[in-house]
A and B are shown apart, each in its own frame.
Chain A
Amino acid sequence: MIVSMKRLSLVALKSEQDRILRALQECGTVQVLNIADGDAVDPEADAVNARIQRLSESISAVKPYAKKPGFLSPQKREMTLAAIRDDVPKAESTASEIESLLHTQTHLLAEREKALSTRETLQPWVRLSVPMSSIKNTPRVHYFIGLCASKDQPRIDAQEYLAVEYYNESTTVPTVLACKEADARNVQNFLKTIDWQDFVFPKMEGTPGQAIASIEQRVAEIDEELLKTQAALEEHGDSIGVLQNAFDAETIDYDRLSAKSELGYTVSTFVLEGWMRADEVEKTEQAIRSVTDAYSFEIRDPVEGEEPPSVVKNNKFVEPFEEVQTLYSRPAYGTIDGTPYMTPFYILLFGLMLSDTGYGLLLMLGSLVYLKYKKPTGMSKGIAKVLFWGGISTVVWGVLCGSFFGITRTDTSGGVFTTIGQFFDRIGIFPAWIDPMQDSMLMLGLCFGLGIIHIVAGYIVGALDRFRHGDWKSAVFDKISWVLITLGLVIGFLPAITGMAGTPVALPDIVTKIALGAAALGALLVVLFKGRDKRNPLKRLTSGLGGLYDITSVLSDILSYARLFALGIATGVIGQVFNMLSNMLTGASNPALKVIGSIGCVVLVVLLHTFNVAINALGAFVHCARLQYVEYYGKFYESGGKEFTPLSYNTKHVQVSE
């Protein structure tokens, strides 16, 4: 059910603004709307934001050194607001220490990088045996220092007025040329004609060899300092909890402060406009009343043109499935919440796609353990509960279709697997109903049958919704007409369709005639009334005939349910293949090898089935969701609702408790 929303206008004294906002944030019921004139940002909010940035950098810097939370420890620890606020000063000082460590680290790394690249450029010059600073122009002699291509060496040698010294034999040769000052210009011009690159020695003492040695010594020092910085960072690993607490405390403050800049102001009052749920009005006013009596609290219904956020409310059983719906889209405000109508189908179809008792038990247990120990919130909590219900359904379908970790009545994997299979065969109720491998056409028919029920249910939900809004024309002409067409055609042609599959279902003649008649009536309704808002009769008729073309989309919707069968088969057969592979390890005749093989078999079975259940549960989750979104919701759902984001404790690491 979509919760109706109220628009709140709150006016109160500026002097009490902070306390009121704190109370509202604790209450967590009001989404503040931005009615501020400009987009001036509260300077205090800016400061808090800067601190949040610093904390978040510190957290990611020390995260690698923090103790990993246990595999089964809760996602968020429960703490009071006061407790996390108390951590702020300590976190601030830790964060500034970490910041300066990071700063040092960056500097050291940059220096190291630079030193190494200097060493790289000096390396070719090691044979130069005089201090680098000593090669400089005198009033009579001009020096040229550079790298020349070895192919140009003969040309340099040919210049008579040059004294030349080469320092190694690679393709680019470190070279020092000397000439009389008077020839300097000629030499410069000559150098432009050959492959010559000027080189400037770094400002360092001694020969290149000495310079390299001193660079290496400096690099060693830097490495040592880096290790020290690293060690200091590592020591801060333990304070990650404090940093995270402070991060959340500051985020809470930031949210409230940035809400402040969205309010309207007069000289001595402030105005808060916002949305809240109609069922939380009382609670909200209570929160304000606990702070002050000096306020005006006005609420009204949303008016035309306003788009309130969309919130759905359901009972405990249906609630987790809201997350599945949210993955698609929230319902537009004032339309219909599909969750309660989707939930039973989701559970039913999810189980059919896995249909293995063993995998169902694993899913149930897995999601229970996850919920109990990890204490997830929000979407992961919902999804875990959805998987729990899906697991139950999978167990039931597993019994109906007779599959247990891929083992069926007719198992041929050998060893213990076949023994279990034979046991299933003896007790005779496993499969309790249908063996998809033997009766594949029947199973496929069942999947299509469920699909038809699903689609028709979609039209009926749509029709009921239209009736509720008093739009009986749309209900009858757009929804019920298609129920008639779909059901009529399916029942009318049932003998013919099942006949093609080899097991014709006989229906009394009168039934098929009525069914086909109903389909014809439905088609007539569509042709005559699809274009009922068009005045031109010709346009109206073409619109109606065009509407009838939708029958192809209904047909493709039905065929889409073939995935139920295919995915069920995929899970079962792959499980069976994995059993077969594992069993091969036990085939040795030597007793010692047989023991080792059996252990290997057990390990392999566990690993392979874990993989299979994981990938197929993912597939079942998403494919089942798709059947809801496209085939089912397509018949009645209106998407596009906006998220409700009240001012509240929006934390990342901590669950704020009372």
Chain B
Amino acid sequence: MNWGAIWATAGAVCAALFAGIGSAIGVGITGQASAGVVSENPDLSGKCLLLQLLPGTQGIYGLLIAVVIALNSGLMSGDVAALAGNTTLGVRYLIAGLPIAIGGLVSAIYQGKVAVAGINMVAKKPTESGKGMVMAIMVETYAVLSLLISFLLVIGIK
């Protein structure tokens, strides 16, 4: 059993899976709110769509880290000999993936909530959509920081 490869795969899976779940929830709730607003005023669909997209980025960041883990550890090319019998190496990949997995999961959900509030704001004051976007992006900051540390840790594994 190549435990190193298993742990590394778990790292890639966690990054993509949890960040993806977060984004799915975030985009889901904003989508519901958008549909409500757009049913009243179809002209606002563009503005609502922009706000709906914002919590979607965490899923992309998770995918990014998953790919970098897969590339760096050799999971992508199938050359996992270095991981054979090296549990430590594999677990390092798993731990390095955790910031974006958990940070992405939670921040996407909360960003979704802020974006829902932003969409409600757009319904009342369509000209203020930019402010709603900036509010949502404040939450995203922490997903970006999670992405950054995950990335640096993963590429630091030689």
Contact = CB atoms under 8 A, between A and B. Distances in A.
B137 A570 contact: no
B70 to A, nearest CB: 10
A440 interface: yes
Interface string B52-80: 01101100110110011001000000000
Interface stretch (A146-154, A299-307, A332-340, A560-568): A560-568
Contacts of A618: 50, 53-54
A566 B147 contact: yes
Interface string A397-440: 00000000000000010000000000000000000000001001
B144 interface: yes
Contacts of A562: 144-145, 148
Nearest to B137: A622
B56 A615 contact: yes
A622 B57 contact: no
Contacts of B155: 437, 440
Given A327-B130, A562-B148, A566-B145, A623 B67 contact: no
B144 A567 contact: yes
B137 A623 contact: yes
B148 A619 contact: no
Nearest to A559: B145
B84 interface: no
Contacts of A577: 63-64, 67
B82 interface: no
A366 to B, nearest CB: 15
A622 B133 contact: yes
Interface string A623-642: 10110010000000000000
A573 interface: yes
Given A327-B130, A626-B138, A566 B63 contact: no
Contacts of A8: none
B157 interface: no
B64 A573 contact: yes
Nearest to B133: A622
A437 B156 CA distance: 11
Contacts of B145: 562-563, 566
A629 B137 CA distance: 12
A615 B57 contact: yes
B134 interface: yes
A565 B148 contact: yes
Given A440-B152, A562-B144, A574 B60 contact: yes
Contacts of A327: 130-131, 134
Interface in A543-600: 560, 562-563, 565-567, 569-570, 573-574, 577
A562 B141 CA distance: 10
A328 interface: yes
B125 to A, nearest CB: 12
Given A570-B61, A570-B64, A618-B50, A626 B137 contact: yes
Contacts of A625: 130, 134, 137
Nearest to A441: B152
B156 to A, nearest CB: 9
B151 interface: yes
Nearest to A619: B57
A577 B155 CA distance: 16
Interface in A434-480: 437, 440, 444
Nearest to A621: B133
B151 A615 contact: no
B134 A574 contact: no
A574 B53 contact: no
B71 A622 contact: no
Given A618-B50, A618-B53, A625-B134, A569 B60 contact: no
A626 B56 CA distance: 18
A53 to B, nearest CB: 16
A577 B62 CA distance: 13
Contacts of B137: 622-623, 625-626
A570 B60 contact: yes
A554 B148 CA distance: 20
A653 to B, nearest CB: 12
A565 B61 CA distance: 13
A327 B134 CA distance: 9
A570 B150 CA distance: 12
B53 A566 contact: no
A560 B138 CA distance: 11
Contacts of A629: 134
Contacts of A328: 130-131, 134
Nearest to B136: A622
Contacts of B140: 619, 623
Contacts of B134: 327-328, 622, 625-626, 629
Nearest to A565: B148
Contacts of A326: 130
Given A622-B133, A629-B134, A574 B63 contact: yes
Contacts of B130: 326-328, 625
Contacts of B152: 440, 444
B148 A574 contact: no
A563 B141 contact: yes
Contacts of B148: 562-563, 565-566
Interface string B14-53: 0000000000000000000000000000000000001001
A569 B145 CA distance: 12
A577 B69 CA distance: 13
Contact of A574 (B64, B71, B151): B64
Contact of A566 (B50, B54, B71, B151): B151
A570 B147 CA distance: 9
A243 B71 CA distance: 60
Contacts of A444: 152
By CB atoms of chain A within 10 A, which of B54, B60, B155 has the most?
B60
A502 to B, nearest CB: 11
B76 to A, nearest CB: 8
- Counting chain A CB atoms within 10 Å of each CB, the highest count among B53, B54, B137, B138 belongs to B137
A570 B64 CA distance: 7
A304 to B, nearest CB: 30
A637 to B, nearest CB: 14
A623 B155 CA distance: 24
Contact of A569 (B56, B133, B138, B151): B151
A204 B33 CA distance: 46
A515 B70 CA distance: 45
A618 B49 CA distance: 11
3 nearest A-B pairs in the assembled complex, by CB-CB distance: A327-B130, A566-B148, A622-B137
Interface of B: 50, 53-54, 56-57, 60-61, 63-64, 67-68, 71, 130-131, 133-134, 137-138, 140-141, 144-145, 147-148, 151-152, 155
21 contacts: A328-B131, A412-B71, A440-B151, A444-B152, A562-B144, A563-B145, A566-B144, A566-B147, A566-B151, A573-B67, A574-B63, A574-B64, A577-B64, A615-B56, A619-B140, A622-B133, A622-B134, A622-B137, A623-B140, A625-B134, A626-B138
Given A437-B155, A563-B141, A618-B53, 10 more contacts: A326-B130, A327-B134, A444-B152, A562-B144, A563-B145, A570-B64, A615-B60, A622-B54, A623-B140, A626-B138
Interface of A: 326-328, 412, 437, 440, 444, 560, 562-563, 565-567, 569-570, 573-574, 577, 615, 618-619, 622-623, 625-626, 629
